[in-house]
Amino acid sequence: METQKILMRSLAVVVFASVIWTITVSADNDQKPLCCTAVSRLTRAQFTDPIISFRLQKQSLPCVKAVVFETERGDFCLHPRLTWVKEEVKQFLRA
């Protein structure tokens, strides 16, 4: 009888932990940025946010080839062939 109580409590703890873990994992996945599925052709004049960092994204459908600039407002997916985007990337690589 005592063994059954211990097993039932252990099972309840495992189920409870599994539910919490599942909720946490799904909440984390909702917050992570997905890949860029489209790019912007903003001009340098239109893009006024200071750039914190960048990353290059390769094409792998549904993701498109892009330069992703990280700013305080968030990530911006930009067309990699824009002249000003190339210049910004060069500046980061020089530093």
pLDDT at 12 over 50: no
Q: What is the mean pLDDT of residues 6-15?
A: 54
Res 93: pLDDT: 92
Task: Give the separation between CA 16 and CA 33, rounded to whole angstroms.
Answer: 29
Task: Give the separation between CA 67 and CA 46, rounded to whole angstroms.
Answer: 16
Q: What is the CA radius of gyration of the chain?
A: 23
The most confident of 20-24, 54-58, 91-95, by mean pLDDT: 54-58
74-78/53-57 β-pairing = unpaired
Q: Which helix (H) or strand (E) holds 94?
A: helix 83-94
Contacts of 57 (CB under 8 A, 6+ apart): 35, 36, 63, 64, 65, 66, 67, 68, 77
Q: For a pLDDT cut of 90, what percent of the chain falls above it?
A: 61
Contacts of 13 (CB under 8 A, 6+ apart): none
Res 8: pLDDT: 63
- Comparing 12 with 38, which gets the higher pLDDT? 38
pLDDT in tens, 26-70: 445 555 558 999 999 999 999 999 999 999 999 999 999 999 999
Provide the mean pLDDT of the chain: 80
